[in-house]
Amino acid sequence: ETGVTQSPTHLIKTRGQQVTLRCSSQSGHNTVSWYQQALGQGPQFIFQYYREEENGRGNFPPRFSGLQFPNYSSELNVNALELDDSALYLCASSLGAWGSDTQYFGPGTRLTVL
Amino acid sequence: AQKVTQAQTEISVVEKEDVTLDCVYETRDTTYYLFWYKQPPSGELVFLIRRNSFDEQNEISGRYSWNFQKSTSSFNFTITASQVVDSAVYFCALSEARMNRDDKIIFGKGTRLHILP
């Protein structure tokens, strides 16, 4: 048990729709990172938030956006969904935003776009 | 640029056999961190180990052991006396200390391990 939770567990959307995924970090962890994991692949870094500010972004278009709140919760929003957005979305929390900080992952949200 | 290669896509072994999962990495930094995660069918990545680039001592934790060799840029993971519960996908990951804004942590593509009863 990492203490990181995500909701919902599964989600089905249609192309063009918008979706919001939620994550609750471990208490005291100032950093949350979001990853997209396509089937058969390793997780790919989407972006990271440190103390409610974006602190790095991977190679994802602007229709992927996020928010981090003071109560250790965060959101990943995806607009104009495409079929290729179907994946497992993982959030991970860590104490800080350094390379040495171990990230603790939630169980993920499986998004299917039809 | 940093890169992690897990050349073994899928491995099957019979229970109680030993198995080694390979991980080779590339980085420009002298200070970096290597991780192994386990992903069971439930989907959650479970942290197994973190190793910094200045500590080349091998580590053993129960049936798990890790062999870090900077000379070959490898960080291999061995499971001794494997059990069915070890069946999962295992990911090796690399994080650079300077934390480039766009390159937080890089994961390999994973090795799917099947332990056959």
Of B32, B42, B50, the CB nearest to A107: B42
Judged by CB atoms closer than 8 Å, whether chains meet at A42 and B110 is answered as yes
And the tokens for B10? 């899928």
Q: How many CB pairs under 8 A join A and B?
A: 77
Q: Which residues of A touch B55 (CB under 8 A)?
A: none
User: Is B46 strand, coil or helix?
Assistant: strand
pLDDT at position B103: 57
Q: What is the 3-state secondary structure (H, E, C) of A21-74?
A: EEEECCCCCCEEEEEEECCCCCCEEEEEEECCEEEEECCCCCCEEEEECCCCEE
Of A92, A99, A108, the CB nearest to B97: A99
**Residue corresponding to tokens 């056999």:** B17
Averaged pLDDT of chain B: 91
Alpha helices, H only, chain B:
none
Q: State pLDDT tens for residues B48-101.
A: 999 989 988 888 889 999 999 999 999 999 999 999 999 999 999 998 766 555
Judged by CB atoms closer than 8 Å, whether chains meet at B52 and A100 is answered as yes
Q: State pLDDT tens for residues B69-83.
A: 999 999 999 999 999
Of B52, B96, B105, the CB nearest to A45: B105
Residue (of A75, A36, A35) closest to A52 by Cα position: A75
